[in-house]
Structure 1
Amino acid sequence: MPSRTLSFVESYNPAPLPTEDLDYADLPVIDFGKAGTAEGRAELAIVARDAMRTQGFVFAINHGYSAAQTKRMFDIANIPFDAVDREEKLMYSGDIKETGSFQGYKPRSYWHISNGVQDQNEHYNINPDVHRKQHPKALRPLIPEIDAFIKHCHVNIVHPILRLLARGLEMPEETLVNLQRYEVPQESYLRFIKYYPRSEEEEAKTNNVWLKGHTDFGSVTVLWSQPVAALQILSPQNKWQWVKHIENALVINIGDALEFLSGGFYKATIHRVVQPPPSQRGYTRLGVYYFAMLENDVVLKPLMESPMLQREGIQTDRLPEKGKEPTMEVHRKARTSAFGKSEAAKGENGVDIEVLNGVLVKHYN
């Protein structure tokens, strides 16, 4: 973070930790402090490989931001919601369905959850090219800090994870990094998001689901851990489990893009957001995420030059028809435009199904 005098930012006070004894997922930990040596990366590559083959999620620590720097980013993340009025937010809202791109605000009540209930989360999205679009007045003095944070997420967090996963495929470390270069114009994005409490009637109609179970569609998602328990992942045993908060840690998962490139060797795990436990109800849930995308022209088909994939073979039924695989740009636009807006076929056990550009997409209610 720059050493210059920082702009004043109002402090955001998060909810206290939950008091309930929740069924937390037992996720492995990636210690970036070990990634500086070949021996350390070899050790971490095994952890990352095994985790992304099964649970699809890991914690990460020693990621390069101090607790104070992370707290500052959460304070900044709250500004688009509490320091910008409704009229100005409308000026910076993105046309998500038409463009298939997250830029600017997604307003509350934009997505349909179920039984006529709309979502109650609002988010603000920023491209790595922070000057691509203008930002609300309250954010403008903070753009240099946001710019540095985005670069840190991409170069110092996503790229090291991609190197570990490339090793898991028995490929050169830079194989996946070269498909997701920071200096290339791209559609990765930093997201500040705020969930607001809902009425009991809405909770009843949605079975307490705030965001349907889904896979992310990019390559790597970085979530900066926060204390409100609401994120759940679908375990290999087909059981929903909570993700625990670890102070100044990251929660990292992979999306469709890496599942497709690895032929299903790595899994894009289903996850969802639900109503927090009773001790945390009534609080807002502020999130800081970085959604990393492969470069637009990367074709989402298996990297068959991988020795691991040659031995293991294709391990997913979600791949599009051979020869008709979409690019990252096509898949991203289809998933972005359709989420919460398209009509999916009703499947079994509350799982809705649709096919987008030949890719099977499931929504877990």
Structure 2
Amino acid sequence: MLDTPLAEVPLVSLSQADTDPDGFAQAFGDSFKRFGFAMIRDHGVPDDLIDRAWALTKAFFDLPEAEKRSYFIEGQGGARGYTPYKTEIAKGAEHVDLKEFWHIGREIPEGHRYSDVMPPNIWPDRPEGFRETFLEMFAAFDRTGDRLLSAIARYLDLAPDWFDPAVKDGNSIMRLLHYPPVSADAPEVRAGAHEDINLITLLLGAEEAGLELLDRDGQWLPVKPPEGAMVVNVGDMLQRLTNHVLPSTSHRVVNPAPERRGHSRYSMPFFLHPAPDFMLTALPQCVTEENPLRDPPISSHDYLMERLREIGLTK
């Protein structure tokens, strides 16, 4: 039934991980294996924090263009602060994406061993409460991400805490995304077809129609979570780690129906990365005669730099 044109990404409750961790791991992992995506309810990020974060996201993107651009840093690949509208482009795409965004990374102390590749955060002067809210939001995403990685470890017959050292001080990024209203003659997609770079992506804000994944049959499948649910997907780093057992699925954001073209779309992905020196080496249990080794080992930082060049954020 899962392979019919009516296939839908399953909705699973993270609360099940407390009462039946193996059952949750199986359901979550099966969805990842089938679609490269899952939808998660009861994800643990407080509703009031999410509401506050949305209000501040909208307030920031409503600021004057010149003020927003004052937080853009040339040559940093958009790692922190503001990236202007029509900057990023999907690998191999003809048109740039119709979006602007703000990046927040992990706060690490001065002199930390990763400080040469994980720059300090940039914080805007307004709106008020921006820094405090998004540091809290980053920590909440981090906690949920750890729980989801623990389930993936179980699914792969690893110890539940296997990912803990891999993601300790990981180079994760929280992105605040704004897709402005689109004109009738705009290209057909707000964000071109792409795969994510990281281990897993946790996404809030996909309730507004537009997110689609490329299914096995070559058809684009809408991903429509219920209000408040989180969409989670496999990134290329987890795909490499599992020798493509868990697929990093192409996805895109298409333009809205004509009646919604005058409306902005906002979303908030959290790109969960391992530490920069973590080696992306295929797990032995994922390399078999039927599934021979696909990719050579590479550090997560080197892989990140390779991919950022491909999408036009670095040269």
TM-score by length of 2: 0.86
Residue 329 of structure 1: which of 285, 301, 304 is its match? 301
Task: Determine the C-alpha separation between the residues in 1 that align with 2:72 and 2:79.
Answer: 9
Q: Would you say the 8 A contact 1:102–1:125 is kept in 2?
A: yes
What does residue 192 of structure 1 align with? 176
CA gap 1:339/1:289 in 2 versus in 1, 3 angstroms: same
Match status 1:274 vs 2:254: yes
Write out aligned runs for 1:170-249 (5 A): 170-181=157-168, 184=169, 186-203=170-187, 208-249=188-229
Superposed displacement of residue 110, structure 1? 1.3
CA gap 1:112/1:62 in 2 versus in 1, 3 angstroms: closer
Task: Determine the C-alpha separation between the residues in 1 that align with 2:70 and 2:176.
Answer: 17
Superposed displacement of residue 117, structure 1? 4.4
Task: Determine the C-alpha separation between the residues in 1 that align with 2:177 and 2:68.
Answer: 14
Task: Determine the C-alpha separation between the residues in 1 that align with 2:131 and 2:26.
Answer: 37
> Hey, which bits of structure 1, 4+ residues long, moved more than 4 A?
112-117, 310-313, 340-343
Amino acid at match of 2:35: Q
Task: Determine the C-alpha separation between the residues in 1 that align with 2:40 and 2:249.
Answer: 17
Unaligned runs of 5+ in 2: 110-119
Instruction: Write the deviation string for residues 237-270 of structure 1: whole angstroms up to 9, x where unpaired.
Output: 2210111141111000010111111111111111
Q: Would you say the 8 A contact 2:39–2:229 is kept in 1?
A: yes
What does residue 310 of structure 2 align with? 338
What does residue 45 of structure 1 align with? 25
CA gap 1:112/1:146 in 2 versus in 1, 3 angstroms: closer
Match status 1:106 vs 2:106: no
What does residue 129 of structure 1 align with? 107
What does residue 16 of structure 1 align with? none
Residue 152 of structure 1: which of 140, 145, 149 is its match? 140
Match status 1:162 vs 2:162: no
Match status 1:255 vs 2:235: yes
Q: Would you say the 8 A contact 2:77–2:313 is kept in 1?
A: no
Task: Determine the C-alpha separation between the residues in 1 that align with 2:211 and 2:6.
Answer: 10
RMSD: 2.5
Q: Would you say the 8 A contact 1:216–1:268 is kept in 2?
A: yes
> For the pair shown, which has the larger CA radius of gyration, 1 or 2?
1
Amino acid at match of 1:36: D
TM-score by length of 1: 0.75
Number of matched pairs: 300
What does residue 91 of structure 1 align with? 70
Q: Percent identity?
A: 23
Match status 1:26 vs 2:8: yes
Residue 294 of structure 1: which of 250, 271, 274 is its match? 274
Q: Would you say the 8 A contact 1:80–1:124 is kept in 2?
A: no
What does residue 283 of structure 1 align with? 263
Amino acid at match of 1:230: G
Unaligned runs of 5+ in 1: 1-22, 344-365
Task: Determine the C-alpha separation between the residues in 2 that align with 1:297 and 1:263.
Answer: 19
